[in-house]
Structures are given as structure tokens and as C-alpha cells.
Amino acid sequence: MFMNIINGDARISYWDREIETMSREGLENLQSQRLKETVQRVYERVPFYRQAFKEKGIEPGDIKSLADLSKLPFTVKQDLRDNYPYGLFAAPMGDIVRIHASSGTTGKPSVVGYTRRDIDNWAEMVARALVMAGGTKHDVVHVAYGYGLFTGGLGLHYGAERMGASVVPVSGGNTARQLLLLQDLGATIIACTPSYALYLAEEGQAAGIDFKNHPLRIGIFGAEPWTENLRAQLEEKLSITALDIYGLSEVMGPGVSMECPAKCGSHIFEDHFIAEIIDPDTGESLPYGQQGELVLTTIQKEGIPVIRYRTRDISTLHPEKCACGRTHMRMKRVTGRSDDMLIIRGVNVFPSQVESVLLEFGETEPHYLLVVDRKGELDNLEVWVELSEQMFSDKIKQIENLEERIRNKILSVLQINVKIKFVEPRTIPRSEGKARRVMDRREL
């Protein structure tokens, strides 16, 4: 499947050249055909979609080509939660071979299921992404995304294996051990969140690792927003090419799009996904190049296909052919979200989740502020909350005990460690309109 093409001076590799460089017309025909099949599939198999189509007054036969896409209803994260856990599955459980779930939802997570063919396609997408980044079967791939319900670890794992590389399934955490393995096993590709990569780089430097003379050459970074500035730092500190990988569990996981070494946006794998940009307030489609919310429709998935899924991620789309020869359109870096979800060290956090924890404790007021900071390398979340008048005049010991209880409860709900800072009653600014619950001091 490998193909090395000499294009000018650059040596470009494709995992699947025919698909990756297909004409736009060919791609669009393929998308139209697959869209029709997907629409038929969900209409027949998922009561939720049948109802949603009915409300829009459409039937599968009304969708004849891509031009009809905007007739279809949107799907949102809440729809997955409302149909928890398996209500949106379009394949019988006997055909589902893997379950993942996304973090960061109030109460129930959104659960997604994959058939064997979905898992196979996903591995193909990630192999395609890795080869796009310059990977080959001779690479040693250190996967430091978390393994488990999160799609990062297993997604990269199977893709790297499909490419034929040697995979080191380290998962997250235990930085000293990660550094030891990186050095001793001679990883040439590292896959993790960009913030963790920076942490590893800095800890590695402090431990005397000379990355300049280390075989590491490529970083596959994603799962959270990052910047050109961070790219420059990572490339310099680790002596690598750092590239962006994008994805979300509701649509598949990592490998929905991948940046090529031309570094001008990430190619969306359009033989599997149809991308649109909409105005998040009106839902109207926006022209290429204009910034708005990314909406994705899966056209190959069996387990849980999604129709016009509103990702809440803000980006722009660019369909022009890329310097790398690929025709699949590019999305610019995700710069933010159209909802209030925060991503803290790769974990999705909604302020409402913190709020519901705080409300369980009678000793605080319902006035709080989430303060997000990036201290050097890692995101930190501080929860500022007002103590009740009664509590404020209480003993230190009791306040410390309350702090610990809230911290532990947030850890168990969100799986992240936060710092609790109690403030005097009536000191958190009140708002007359929408409450401002988040102060994001990270520079993105």
C-alpha cells in the first residue's frame, strides 16, 4: 500500500494514492452515493432519525446528491445522551465489536459503537494519517494518548499497527517511565496531546535527554486546540516535525482529518466524512473560507452513523488542491468552540458539571468561576467558589475538609485534579446577562 512519489524535491508518500488524489468530481460522486446509502440506513434502522426526518418533512428518496445535504436535520451531542446508551446504533449489538465513550458530558457520557468494518476503516484512516505525516512501517510509534474509553490511545494504536510500524502502547501518565521508554526503545514517532508533549520535552531536557541526537522525528498531536507557537516550541525542543491530528468520538475518533507536512490545514478524509461549515447561531451553511462551526456527516460508518453532527468546533474549510498533491479539503486549526466546553489536559469539561458538584455541597454559594491557565506546559483548572456566610466565619479545619471533599468529588466526576479556591461571599463578579463562568488565561 505504500507509494513514494517524487514531486519536485519533496518525497511524498500516500497510503492510498488513488483515493487521496482523486478528482474533486470523483470524490463528490462517491460522497453522493455513500450519503444516499447512509441516509437509507439510518432511516430504516434508527427510530430517532426516522422521527427527525419526519419532522423535516423528508424521506430518504429526497436526498439525491450532495446538494440535498442541507435538507437533512442536524444531530447534536444531546441527542446521543438522550438516546443513551445504544439508541442511535444502526447495527445490532451482535455486530458491534467495540464501544468507546466521550468524556465531558453532564451525567451520562456519549457512547459510540463500532462494527468490525468500522474498526477496520478507522485503522485505515489512522494509517493514512500516519503515512501523510511521513510515517512508514520502519517507525517505532510511542502512543502516549490514554488507552480506554477515550479514542486516542486505541485509535492511534490500530492505525500504527495497520501501517506496519512497531507500536509502543504506553498510554498516558508516568512521565519518568515514558522518558525512559522513549530513549531506550528508540521511538521515531510520538503521539500524544501537544500539552503533554511539551511537558515531556521539558522534563526530558531537565533529565539531560539530548533530543537533537535522538531518532524521534515526528509528533502526531491533537485532542485539544494548540497553536503555531506551540508547534514551533515542540519542533525545536524535540527536534521533530509536529503535525495536527483531529477527530472526535461521536464521528469516529482521531483520524477524521490530518495535517500533511505542507502545514496548511488538515485534510478531511472525504471518502468517509462530508464536512460543512455553518453559522452556529442560525445553522445556515457558510461558503468555503468563512469561519464557523464544523458539521460532519459520516458516510461509511455502520455502528453509529451520524448525520450533520454539530461538532461545536470552530474552523474554516479550503477545497483547493494542496501542495502535497492531495485533493481532500483542508480544515484550518480548530480555534475554539461554539459552546462552553473546555478541554483540560485532553479531558472535556463542561462548566455545568462542576456546577452540579458544587450544588451538592450546601456550604458554598452558587457563584463560581473556572480559571484555566497554562502554567508552562500543562493546563490547570482552578475552581473559585464563594463560601456561604456561615461557612466563611467557620473554623479553618472545616473549610479545609470542605475543600478536600469538593476536590475529590470533581476528581471522581471529571477525572481531573483541580485546585479549589474559596473566596469571600459576594466577590465573584455577577453578570446581568449570561453568567461568565470561565476565565481562560491560556494563549491559544
Find the residue with minimal CB distance to ligand DLL: 222
Binding test (CB under 6 A) with ligand DLL, winner from 160, 223, 299, 344: 223
Q: Does residue 248 bind ligand DLL (CB under 6 A)? A: yes
CB-wise, 72 or 144, nearer to ligand DLL?
A: 144
Q: Which stretch in 16-24, 247-255, 353-361, 397-405 sits in contact with ligand DLL by CB under 6 A?
A: 247-255
Q: Does residue 245 bind ligand DLL (CB under 6 A)? A: yes
Binding test (CB under 6 A) with ligand DLL, winner from 134, 172, 225, 303: 225
Q: In whole angstroms, how close is the CB of 266 to ligand DLL at the nearest point?
A: 7
Task: Looking at residues 116 to 135 of the shown chain, list those that interact with ligand DLL (rule: CB under 6 A).
Answer: none
Binding test (CB under 6 A) with ligand DLL, winner from 60, 159, 172, 254: 254
Binding test (CB under 6 A) with ligand DLL, winner from 159, 172, 204, 253: 253
Q: In whole angstroms, how close is the CB of 156 to ligand DLL at the nearest point?
A: 7
Q: Which stretch in 175-183, 246-254, 269-277, 393-401 sits in contact with ligand DLL by CB under 6 A?
A: 246-254
How crowded is residue 138: how many other Cβ atoms within 10 Å of its Cβ? 10
Q: Does residue 102 bind ligand DLL (CB under 6 A)? A: yes
Task: Looking at residues 415 to 434 of the shown chain, list those that interact with ligand DLL (rule: CB under 6 A).
Answer: none
Task: Looking at residues 138 to 197 of the shown chain, list those that interact with ligand DLL (rule: CB under 6 A).
Answer: 145, 150-152
Q: Does residue 316 bind ligand DLL (CB under 6 A)? A: no
Q: In whole angstroms, how close is the CB of 130 to ligand DLL at the nearest point?
A: 12
CB-wise, 112 or 209, nearer to ligand DLL?
A: 112
User: In this structure, are residues 345 and 335 in contact, taking their beta carbons and an 8 Å threshold?
Assistant: no
Q: Does residue 79 bind ligand DLL (CB under 6 A)? A: no
CB-wise, 161 or 394, nearer to ligand DLL?
A: 161
Task: Looking at residues 22 to 61 of the shown chain, list those that interact with ligand DLL (rule: CB under 6 A).
Answer: none
> Total residues at the site for ligand DLL (CB under 6 A)?
24
Q: Which stretch in 57-65, 202-210, 242-250, 421-429 sits in contact with ligand DLL by CB under 6 A?
A: 242-250
* Closest to 325 (Cα-Cα) out of 3, 73, 1: 3
CA distance 160 to 155: 9
Binding site residues, ligand DLL, CB under 6 A: 102-103, 145, 150-152, 222-225, 244-249, 253-254, 311, 313, 334, 337, 343, 348
